[in-house]
Structure 1
Amino acid sequence: MRLKSIIIHTVALTFVALFASQSVLADVVNIREDAPQTYVVEKGDTLWDISSLFLSQPWRWPELWRNNTQIENPHLIYPGDMLRLRWENGVPILEVVRDKPLLTLSPDTQRREKPNPINVLPWEAIAMYINNDSIMTTEEFQALPAVLSDREGSARFVDEDYVLTKALKNAKRANMTEFEIVRKEREVYDSLGALLGVQVIQLSDAEFSTDVNSDKYVVKVANSIREVKKGDKLRPAKKFDNNDLTLQPATRQRGELVSNINGYNIISKDDVVIINIGKRKVEPGTVFGIYKQGPDIEYKEEPLRSASATGSIASLFSLGETIQQPAYKVGELVVIRGFEHASYAWVTEASTHLVGGEIVASPTPSEN
């Protein structure tokens, strides 16, 4: 069964790869038929939502700005900007009508600051899933020091508690100013049994108090999300930064949608999921298509009535042929955070329910 699973998985990926290899982005971006001629950016908008107003393939957003010299970074759009769609020699171009902010150091005149750019993705909805969850390699997790106890010998801790922990190995404490306490949630495997890492959840921050000796710290628990317990792990703080996320389509990267971030296999649009592609092969902002392959079809031709007796007997033992279904595109996702052997991604589109095991590959296997 494992060999068959590997063969099916390999053939499916090859099918997608063949389509992807024939796909080259067209010179002219396809604009949605219902795209507005103008749009004023509002606070709370996301770049993905605005891109979806103009394009059926939102990740091609930068291509609308390629001839617009006034925009240095098409991912930096601000509330109040008016976006105007025009055509030049049959090519769509998006331009911005923007009031230049008045900046002055004089106390006698008004000072007006430029607002912050809108987010690329809806981080308010996504952040709660990824800010406190991460995936570590087994070796990284096992190397983390454990939380031991407090002066009273307690086994549970909350804010303002001082606890004794083991020291971080092979690390200079002076170079670390912020810590966090984490707990193992589960080990993450893909459908072929490959271990992608250990998923951990952050329980609290930890403020360094003092060195007990060369191999122990005292830290203060702070900003608890959950109760800390004896045996939880201490690590340097890992702050997630989404400011550099840039939309781009996947090309030759191919992998698998493993599960949603909680390990469940009931997945739909707007879920945060795990894919089995690590940060060495993919960057945040990379867009993948999601492909689902149906089961093999066993097909056998009925023997003709005029067949000889020998042929009829032989046909009874014929297994027929196995026809493998192609992989059909059923959705899209955007990578939002990468780890060594896996990444978190946000499902932006799903035309059917997903269960894990789906193929992720180029979002444009063929140009429509």
Structure 2
Amino acid sequence: MKKTLICSLVFFIFFMWSLNAQVSASEEYIVEKNDTLWDISSRKLDDYFLWPKLWNVNPHIENPDLIYPGTKIFIPSREELMHIPALPTREIPAARKQKIKKSESKSVWKYAPVMEKKHIIDKSLFIASGWIADTYPSIGEILSSPTNQQMTSKNDIVYIKLPESLSPEDPALILSGNEDPVSKKRFFVIRDIKIVKHPVSGKKIGHQIRIAGILEVIGMDENLIKAKITDSFEDVRIGDGLLPYQELEAPLIPETVRTPNNQGYIIESHMNSFLVSKGNVVFLDKGENDGLKVGDVFTVLREQPAESPIGKIQIVSLQPSTSGAVILQNFQELKIGSKWGQP
């Protein structure tokens, strides 16, 4: 009897110790200078790729790229976080809410009934960044402006040239609106930036196409088609091309992040800077035909003096043989010609 009592007491003490250890695995953390969710996830959870889930359990953080010193964040245990969906779409069970409510800690971990899905990249940057194409796809041109300006911007009026007929059967010509063939149609303003060549092999890749803005046809001025610039991401210039508008949505953070074994090189940047850093968009020499998918994450590698990680990128757009990616993190400035893959 005495032996049984001692065993029960030992079991009870072990159980309470285990329970206390699980509770203490969760913690509040005060953001310090130069912290990122990426770094915090690595240090506290031993996994870079848990940062989207860490973001989701801290809904007071609106932008994961903008966290400030002094901000409190709640960090669950790694095991607990692994069971939380990256993009929750239903209400958290009542029992879970009660557990949090009874906690003595003044935690900032508060769940909303439905959490907003979050995007990998800002929508305007996603649209403006453009793509690399085999040919320049323009179907029209900005001819002039009533004030003879060479550079225009949002709300300015311009005159444009369009083909005589825009066939709705052509899949490349996706027009908005159902009125007459020209009035109230919208177009992307596009620019043929340069011919992109591979920084290592020297092989021609294609035309870098950037979207400078969006315009809408508002009528005729004598024999000229008149349009208003409704959005501009940079200066809209006389001579820029036109492409029929279609709605574009920035990609969402995937619930499960893929890290496939592809590798290649950064071949160009959105704004043609040789050195790039966090938040910039870059273009890669692999695309959909190589098995890449939007949301895939790769490591940028320094090759000399020894191969080592210097940044992280995530795919945001795909073409058959190229892709666009946003820089999530960099430990030094990345450059055109940097290698990417998995460490």
| TM-score (norm. length: structure 2) | 0.59
Counterpart amino acid of residue 187 in structure 1: I
1:205 aligns with 2:200: no
For residues 236-273 of structure 1, give each alpha carbon's deviation from its aligned partner in whole angstroms, at most 9, with x where no partner exists. Answer: 23544234331523323211122433222223444432
Could you say which residue in structure 2 is the equivalent of 1:29? none
2:241 to 229, 233, 246: 233
Could you say which residue in structure 1 is the equivalent of 2:49? 59
User: Structure 1 residues 93, 244: CA separation in 2 closer, same or farther (over 3 Å shift)?
Assistant: closer
Could you say which residue in structure 2 is the equivalent of 1:163? 159
Could you say which residue in structure 1 is the equivalent of 2:108? none
Deviation at residue 51 of structure 1 after TM alignment: 4.6
Pairs within 5 Å for 1:66-215: 79=59, 84-85=76-77, 93-95=82-84, 98=92, 114=113, 116-117=115-116, 119=118, 121=120, 123=121, 129-139=125-135, 141-149=136-144, 157=152, 159-167=155-163, 171-172=167-168, 175-177=175-177, 178-191=186-199, 192-209=201-218
Task: Between 346-355 and 77-86, report the one with greater CA deviation.
Answer: 77-86
Pairs within 5 Å for 1:328-347: 328-347=308-327
Deviation at residue 288 of structure 1 after TM alignment: 0.6
1:251 aligns with 2:260: yes
Question: Counterparts of 2:174 and 2:279 in 1: how far apart (Å)?
Answer: 41
State the percentage of identical aligned residues.
17
User: Structure 1 residues 36, 185: CA separation in 2 closer, same or farther (over 3 Å shift)?
Assistant: farther
Question: Counterparts of 1:168 and 1:83 in 2: how far apart (Å)?
Answer: 60
Whether the 8 Å CA contact 1:274–1:342 is kept in 2: the answer is: yes
Question: Counterparts of 1:169 and 1:341 in 2: how far apart (Å)?
Answer: 31
Question: Counterparts of 1:289 and 1:200 in 2: how far apart (Å)?
Answer: 25
- SS for the counterpart of 1:131 is helix
Task: Return the structure number with greater relative CO, CA threshold 8 A, min gap 6.
Answer: 1
Deviation at residue 339 of structure 1 after TM alignment: 3.2
Whether the 8 Å CA contact 1:148–1:230 is kept in 2: the answer is: yes
For residues 55-82 of structure 1, give each alpha carbon's deviation from its aligned partner in whole angstroms, at most 9, with x where no partner exists. Answer: 44333679x9xxxxxxxxx996672797
Whether the 8 Å CA contact 2:132–2:322 is kept in 1: the answer is: no
Could you say which residue in structure 2 is the equivalent of 1:306? none
Whether the 8 Å CA contact 1:273–1:346 is kept in 2: the answer is: yes
Deviation at residue 117 of structure 1 after TM alignment: 2.4
User: Runs of 5+ in structure 2 lacking a partner?
Assistant: 1-23, 30-35, 61-72, 86-90, 95-111, 178-185
Whether the 8 Å CA contact 2:138–2:242 is kept in 1: the answer is: no
User: Structure 1 residues 241, 225: CA separation in 2 closer, same or farther (over 3 Å shift)?
Assistant: closer
Whether the 8 Å CA contact 2:195–2:204 is kept in 1: the answer is: yes
1:293 to 285, 288, 303: 303
Question: Counterparts of 1:221 and 1:98 in 2: how far apart (Å)?
Answer: 44
Pairs within 5 Å for 1:7-26: none
- SS for the counterpart of 1:146 is strand
Deviation at residue 115 of structure 1 after TM alignment: 5.3
Whether the 8 Å CA contact 2:286–2:321 is kept in 1: the answer is: yes
User: Structure 1 residues 95, 268: CA separation in 2 closer, same or farther (over 3 Å shift)?
Assistant: closer
Could you say which residue in structure 1 is the equivalent of 2:67? none
| TM-score (norm. length: structure 1) | 0.56
Counting matched residue pairs gives 268
Deviation at residue 226 of structure 1 after TM alignment: 4.4
Counterpart amino acid of residue 202 in structure 1: I
Over 6 Å off, 4+ runs: 80-83, 151-154
Question: Counterparts of 2:328 and 2:92 in 1: how far apart (Å)?
Answer: 29
Deviation at residue 218 of structure 1 after TM alignment: 4.5
After superposition, the CA RMSD in angstroms is 4.6
- SS for the counterpart of 1:223 is strand
Question: Counterparts of 2:257 and 2:165 in 1: how far apart (Å)?
Answer: 38
Whether the 8 Å CA contact 1:78–1:118 is kept in 2: the answer is: no
Could you say which residue in structure 2 is the equivalent of 1:21? none
Could you say which residue in structure 2 is the equivalent of 1:37? 26
1:221 aligns with 2:229: yes
Question: Counterparts of 2:141 and 2:38 in 1: how far apart (Å)?
Answer: 41
1:359 to 315, 339, 342: 339
Question: Counterparts of 2:269 and 2:313 in 1: how far apart (Å)?
Answer: 12
